[in-house]
């Protein structure tokens, strides 16, 4: 059974909303699924998502896994790579 979803209000700049809607449509996702996908990937990369929540599984330790799996990613999806400082 999938985990319970918690509804909440989100206020966005109309341009940001439109860009997210286009991106979601390009990736064949709903806007809600696209937002969750992007946020989950960022949380995993930042080391702030506990356990194996990146894939919707149980927290690490409950199944003996370490929980450091790579975030799900698809071509054209996810956040752009972080720019490295040029040092100039």
Domain residue extents for the chain = 14-55
Instruction: Round to the nearest angstrom and report the end-to-end CA distance of the chain.
Output: 52
Tokens 């209000």, residue? 9
What is the Cα–Cα distance from 6 to 20, expressed in whole angstroms?
20
Instruction: Please state whether the predicted TM-score (pTM) of the whole model is above 0.85.
Output: no
Q: What is the pLDDT of residue 1?
A: 78
What average pLDDT does the segment 31-60 reach?
Answer: 82
Least confident of 8-12, 22-26, 57-61, 73-77: 73-77
């Amino acid at each position: 059974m999938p985990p319970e979803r918690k509804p909440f209000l989100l206020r966005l700049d109309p341009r940001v909303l439109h860009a997210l809607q286009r991106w979601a449509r390009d990736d064949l996702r709903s806007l809600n699924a696209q937002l969750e996908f992007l946020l989950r990937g960022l949380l995993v990369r930042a080391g702030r998502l506990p356990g194996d929540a990146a894939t919707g599984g149980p927290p690490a330790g409950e199944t003996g896994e370490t929980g450091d799996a790579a975030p799900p990613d698809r071509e054209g999806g996810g956040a752009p790579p972080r720019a490295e400082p040029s040092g100039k």
